[in-house]
Amino acid sequence: MGVTQPPRLGVFGGAFDPPHKAHVVLAQAALEQLQLDELRIFPTGSAWHRAQALTAPEHRLAMAQLAFGQLPRTVIDERELRRAGPTYTVDTLRELQAERAGAQLFLVLGEDQAITLTRWREWEAIVQMATLCVAARPDARAHANLAPAGVPEQAQVRPLRLPSMPESATEVRERLAQHLPVTHLVPSGVASYIARHHLYQNQEH
């Protein structure tokens, strides 16, 4: 009998306002490169670090389901949307530890998130509970498996190799506010949902 390996559980949170193709590519990279048994997608509830109000939770949840719902071994987890008060990653990780005893946790981050990690609530607990899996731009540092500058030394870091992906949610919102097409930036189901619900039409950035 072989030794049973602990389940490998990926955690990928974000505003997903809206989710775009780079988000989906990052999720796919995590599933494949980390050999995850399951990837949980967490649309953020009340984001403590964002001054700008987020789009209504039901819209962001629906768009996340459209963007990520076809990926294998992927679950859209609503708990942060339902949690009262600000959303903190450390709370979600602790809940997952309690629910999935023994699971290895892999926190999937964009590089811009990773370099601000030391401003997150209880970041020391976060790096103890989870391996940081950071989207690496296609440059020499990624090949050298180096962590981005600013990531705490005690963190276990695993770069995720990605193609060059310029998309950002800010760019998508700005194009929509100017009534410009975004079908090349977001999954087709998300683009249709945005158009049907007239989202992001009158926003200032």
Contact at 8 Å (CB) between 59 and 199?
yes
Q: What angle do CA 114, 132, 119 make, to 5 degrees?
A: 40
> Which pTM was predicted?
0.89
Tell me the three state secondary structure of residue 91. Answer: helix
Q: How many whole angstroms separate alpha carbon 59 and alpha carbon 120?
A: 26
Contact at 8 Å (CB) between 67 and 172?
no
Domain positions in the chain: 8-164
Q: Looking at the domain 8-164, which fold is it?
A: Rossmann fold (3.40.50)
Longest dimension (CA), the chain: 61
pLDDT of residue 205: 43
Q: How many whole angstroms separate alpha carbon 137 and alpha carbon 159?
A: 9
pLDDT of residue 148: 63
Contact at 8 Å (CB) between 86 and 47?
yes
Each residue's pLDDT, cut to its tens digit, for the chain (205 residues) gives: 556 789 999 999 999 999 999 999 999 999 999 999 999 999 998 766 655 789 999 999 999 999 999 999 999 999 999 998 888 999 999 999 999 989 999 999 988 888 889 999 999 999 999 999 999 866 544 445 555 666 778 889 999 998 887 778 899 999 999 999 999 999 999 999 999 999 998 755 4
pLDDT of residue 125: 97
pLDDT of residue 139: 57
- Of residues 61, 24, 41, 7, the one with CA closest to residue 193: 61
Indicate if the alpha-carbon torsion angle 75, 126, 8, 33 is positive or negative.
Answer: positive
Tell me the two tokens of residue 84. Answer: 């009262």
Report residue 59: phi and psi, to 5°: -70, -45
